[in-house]
Every structure is written in structure tokens, then in C-alpha cells.
């Protein structure tokens, strides 16, 4: 029998919680019943939500917490006053080795700060990073950092490359992921000094745990030629939000043009399934979860 994976969840974090948390658990159980969920939050509210689906009681344990970190709360304020919050307690369960994984749909800034306070980084890693799975023409790429670090140097970018490579290898069947640095051009002379120094470090990497392919420009992120794309948190977050906004604009514009008159509505009938697949590929909700490395 496979050992159950213990998952801590900040059940009160984010909009429409804990309902969306319970709905998510219900969906996951349709794929696998090998997980055990520890729900940190208001016991009364969680019991009421779980009572709507009795099956979930076999897979969930409630840990009552007194406080909730708000979405608009500053990370430092949340860290100072949030020691009794559902987010703090769920992250703390990792430190105490009670759980294997922690999930939250709440305040990202607070999550990063509290995680830094409670958890250690891997030896040799100075700064953590937010990584996401990004769709491309062939499959999926790992992109990082997406907002954990605004200040960075060449050492941090090198660390992101190592962590991104490790993540990609853990998710996909490859021993040598292709890695690229996001830049304003492909030539070695382009970019700021930090990028140039990182380029030289990765180019001369003697530990062959990834294949460094050089620079990549923003318009080629989705080509599928590389597996891991490395950048700083400011640039990565702007790129992510721009991609999400562009996807929404394209889908909304297409929907409007196909419902303008009777002829476009008729053409929509014949292309419905193709358009539905197209919309699904561009749906940001499928990709906007991030992994804190």
C-alpha cells in the first residue's frame, strides 16, 4: 500500500474559502485517494462545509486556528501578528514534520515571508523562488522567479537555474533539461551586467545537470524550445501578468467577433469544439498556481 501523503492546507486563505478548498479536495480525490488533508482554519465553518460531503471526512482532519491573514494585509504585518493564523500554522506543520506539503490560496507576499521565517533554504541556496508551469507549443516549461525576489544578483539567478532544473526533472522524464535566461536579445553582449555574469557562469557550468542554451526573448517563451526559463522576480511577474492579460484579450475578442451577427453565430456552431479547445489552452486558471522553491 502506498504511504499517504500528508497535505497541510491554509483553508481560510483567499476569496471564497473554505468552499473552494473543499471543492478542490473533492476533485483531487476523484484522481487519487492516497492523500490525507490537514485543514487549518475555523473549525465550525470547516465542519459545516465538510458535512455536505460525508466521504471527505475520511480524508480530512481539522486543526482549529483563531486567525486569518487577509489578502490586502502587508507581508510584514501578517508575519508579526499572524502566529495563530491558518497560514502560519499550516506552514509550521512542515517545520515540525507533521506534513509533507503545504498549500495556500491566500496572500502570496505573507506566504513567502512566513515561509522564510519558519523554513530553512537548501544548503547553498540564498534566496527562494516562485516557479510556475507555463504552456508552450510542445508541452510545458518551468519559469522562475515570478515575484519572490525583486533584488537579485548573478548568484541568485544561477541558484534559480539549479532549482528550476531540479523541479523540471522531478516532473518530467528527462535528465538534462534545456535552460535559457530571459533577456532583451540573443547576443552575448545584450542585457545588464547581472545577466552577462550569469550567462558566463551557466555557460561554464561543469556540473552537467542541465543544458544551458543561452538567452531567450519574451516572444519565444511559448515556442517550446527550452524546458526552464530563468529570470528575476520583477521581470517574471510582469511577463506572467502580461501573458494572462493577452490570453484573456484574445479569447474575449474572438468571442465578441463570433457572436456579432447571425453569420458569425452560424460559423461558431461548426467550429465550437475547436474553439473550446483553444480557449482551454489559454485559460490562465490552469497555470496560475505557483510552486515556492
Q: How confident is the model at residue 242 (pLDDT cuts 50, 70, 90)?
A: confident
Please give the average per-residue pLDDT across 266-290, as a whole number: 67
pLDDT at 148 over 70: yes
pLDDT tens, 198-214?
999 999 887 778 999 99
Give percent of the chain with pLDDT exceeding 70. 90
> Does pLDDT of 279 surpass 70?
no
Q: Which three cell numbers stand for residue 44?
A: 465550525
For helices 86-95 and 108-118, angle between their N-to-C axes, nearest 10 degrees? 30
Residue 32 reports pLDDT greater than 90: no
pLDDT tens profile 102-132: 999 999 999 999 999 999 888 888 899 999 9
Burial letters 144-176, b for 16+ CB under 10 A, else e: bbbbbbeebbbbbbbbbbbbbbbbbbeeeeeee
Percentage of the chain surpassing pLDDT 90? 54
What mean pLDDT is reported for the chain? Answer: 88
CA distance 149 to 236: 10
Amino acid at each position: 500500500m502506498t504511504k499517504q501523503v500528508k497535505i497541510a492546507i491554509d483553508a481560510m486563505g483567499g476569496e471564497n474559502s473554505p468552499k473552494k478548498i473543499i471543492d478542490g479536495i473533492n476533485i483531487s480525490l476523484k484522481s487519487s485517494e492516497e492523500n490525507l488533508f490537514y485543514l487549518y482554519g475555523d473549525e465550525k465553518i470547516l465542519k459545516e462545509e465538510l458535512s455536505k460531503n460525508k466521504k471527505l471526512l475520511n480524508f480530512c482532519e481539522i486543526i482549529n486556528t483563531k486567525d486569518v491573514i487577509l489578502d490586502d494585509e502587508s507581508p510584514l504585518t501578517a508575519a508579526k501578528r499572524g502566529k495563530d493564523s491558518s497560514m502560519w500554522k499550516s506552514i509550521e506543520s512542515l517545520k515540525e514534520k507533521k506534513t509533507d506539503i503545504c498549500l495556500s490560496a491566500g496572500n502570496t507576499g505573507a506566504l513567502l515571508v512566513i515561509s522564510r521565517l519558519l523554513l530553512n533554504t537548501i544548503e547553498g541556496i540564498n534566496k527562494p523562488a516562485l516557479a510556475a508551469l507555463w504552456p508552450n507549443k510542445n508541452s510545458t516549461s518551468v519559469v522562475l522567479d515570478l515575484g519572490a525576489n525583486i533584488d537579485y544578483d548573478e548568484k541568485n539567478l544561477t541558484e534559480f537555474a539549479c532549482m528550476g532544473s531540479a523541479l523540471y526533472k522531478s516532473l518530467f522524464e528527462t535528465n538534462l533539461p534545456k535552460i535559457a535566461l530571459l533577456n532583451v536579445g540573443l547576443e552575448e553582449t545584450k542585457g545588464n551586467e547581472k545577466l552577462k555574469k550569469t550567462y558566463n557562469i551557466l555557460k561554464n557550468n561543469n556540473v552537467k545537470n542541465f543544458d544551458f542554451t543561452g538567452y531567450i526573448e519574451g516572444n519565444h517563451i511559448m515556442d517550446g524550445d527550452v524546458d526552464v526559463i530563468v529570470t528575476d522576480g520583477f521581470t517574471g511577474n510582469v511577463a506572467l501578468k502580461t501573458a494572462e492579460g493577452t490570453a484573456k484579450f484574445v479569447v474575449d475578442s474572438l468571442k465578441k467577433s463570433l457572436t456579432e451577427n447571425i453569420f458569425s453565430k452560424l460559423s461558431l456552431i461548426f467550429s465550437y469544439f475547436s474553439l473550446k479547445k483553444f480557449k482551454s489552452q489559454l485559460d490562465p486558471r490552469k497555470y496560475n498556481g505557483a510552486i515556492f522553491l
